[in-house]
Amino acid sequence: MAKSSITDVAAIAGVSIATVSRCLNNPDKVSEKSRLKVHEAIVKANYTPNVLAQNFRKGRTNIALVVIPSIGDPFFTEVVRGIRSVAEEKAYSIIISEAQSGSEAGEDLLSMLASKQTDGIILLASTPPFPPDAVTSESGHNKPIVIGCETVSAELSVLPSVHIDNVGAAADATDYLIERGHNRIALVCGQAGSLLTKDREAGYRLALRKAGITLDPELIVSGDLSIEGAIHATRSLMSLRHRPSAIFCTTDEMAMGCLHELKSQGYQDVSVMGFDDTRYAAVTEPPLTTVRQPAYEIGERTMLRLCELIAAGDSVEYLGKTADIVPHRLVIRNSVGPGS
């Protein structure tokens, strides 16, 4: 059957196309009688609206773009789940873009941002993958952006964001390690440039200073966020003359690599602290003590926020409170033992 349009339906129902359209979009603006006729005609014609035409006409696609550092990381997939849950509710689809931490990403995303058919953007990526001025509306696009997980940098601070208190959380984790008697605590973190890394490192330093432990720069290793990166980091850490008694990884994913490397090299007594509390944290060996971020909730709230912004449109420059801080929590399992 040839694709039928609103015109066919109108013809069959014996009304104008305007009535058909209204029947679909503002049913209360149309009489009971017409509504019935139209609905009947719709099934008779086997009509489904042409979404592309609708998008074109309305200037909206009901698609949101989500930029993520890594689809693989179970933490982010959980955030995406949260995003998706409210997206579904609001009849949104999401397109996920993996901002490979490489250099080209910036350009790429920027063009994508302009070209892609999305109503708004959620940035979960650590490093804002484009120059800050790109977000101002001068540069052509003026789509709402919400930042998730990540403390926003000063330049981007106009953008709304949803995240935990990264400094505080890292400090809490470090505090706990100190409390358990550790004083040579290593830090394995992500790329040096990322804000997230910066914040967590700041928390780590803060806790150390508060406890009067002098920081040993050798104990801070930054790699990428991968398992392999963490394995290398751990290896180099353990080959130090003065080894750490505990390793704080700023990601569960990295903690998994770390645990593995320690195990396979036979280091029994080194403690490991993770960050995120992904669903694997409970099944590592030993089960991972870590900092819980409410990933799903973060996802929900970022998407909710985005929807607000989209709904607001150009009408109001929505400048309410821009940072939404969600609570974190230390989850104690078995990977941290008493310090030597």
Partner DNA sequence: TGCTAAAATGTAAACGTTTACATTTTAGTT
Partner DNA sequence: AACTAAAATGTAAACGTTTACATTTTAGCA
List contacts with DNA (CB under 7 A). 3, 5-7, 14-19, 21-22, 24-25, 28-31, 33-34, 47, 49-50, 53-54, 56-58
Pick one of a second copy, DNA, none as the site partner of residue 154 (Cβ within 5 to 8 A by kind).
none
Pick one of a second copy, DNA, none as the site partner of residue 279 (Cβ within 5 to 8 A by kind).
a second copy
DSSP string, 297-334: HHHHHHHHHHHHHHHHTTTS---S--EEE---EEE--S
Closest separation in Å from C-beta 12 to DNA = 12
Pick one of a second copy, DNA, none as the site partner of residue 227 (Cβ within 5 to 8 A by kind).
a second copy
Check residue 59 for interaction with a second copy (CB under 8 A). yes
Closer residue to a second copy in complex, CB, 31/117: 117
Q: How far lies 11's CA from each of 6, 14, 33, 127, 308, in Å?
A: 9, 5, 16, 55, 39
CA 259 to chain centroid: 25
Closest separation in Å from C-beta 155 to a second copy = 22
Q: By the 8 A CB rule, do 254 and 229 touch?
A: yes
Rg (alpha carbons) of the chain, rounded to whole number: 25
Pick one of a second copy, DNA, none as the site partner of residue 14 (Cβ within 5 to 8 A by kind).
DNA
Check residue 332 for interaction with a second copy (CB under 8 A). no
Check residue 282 for interaction with a second copy (CB under 8 A). yes
Closer residue to a second copy in complex, CB, 68/195: 68
Nearest to 24 by CA among 1, 45, 47, 52: 47
x/- map, 218-247, a second copy, by CB under 8 A = ---------x--------------------
Which residues lie closer than 8 Å to 89 by C-beta, 6 or more apart?
A: none
DSSP string, 224-258: -SSHHHHHHHHHHHHTSSS--SEEEESSHHHHHHH
Check residue 71 for interaction with a second copy (CB under 8 A). yes
Question: Which amino acid does the sequence have at 188?
Answer: V
CA distance 186 to 179: 15
Closest separation in Å from C-beta 268 to a second copy = 13
By rule CB under 8 A, what count of residues binds a second copy?
45
Beta strand pairing call for 290-292 and 329-331: antiparallel
Alpha helices in 136-226 (DSSP H): 166-179, 195-210
Check residue 115 for interaction with a second copy (CB under 8 A). yes
CA distance 58 to 51: 10
Pick one of DNA, a second copy, none as the site partner of residue 6 (Cβ within 5 to 8 A by kind).
DNA
Nearest to 195 by CA among 142, 159, 143: 159
Check residue 318 for interaction with a second copy (CB under 8 A). no
Closest separation in Å from C-beta 43 to DNA = 14
Closer residue to a second copy in complex, CB, 64/304: 64
The window from 47-55, 204-212, 265-273, 324-332 that contacts a second copy (CB under 8 A) reads 47-55
Half-sphere exposure of 18 (CA within 13 A, CB side): 1
Which residues sit at the interface with a second copy, rule CB under 8 A? 1, 46, 48, 50-53, 55-56, 59, 61, 63, 71-72, 74, 77-78, 80-81, 84, 93-98, 114-117, 138, 140, 227, 256-257, 259-260, 263, 279-280, 282-285, 287
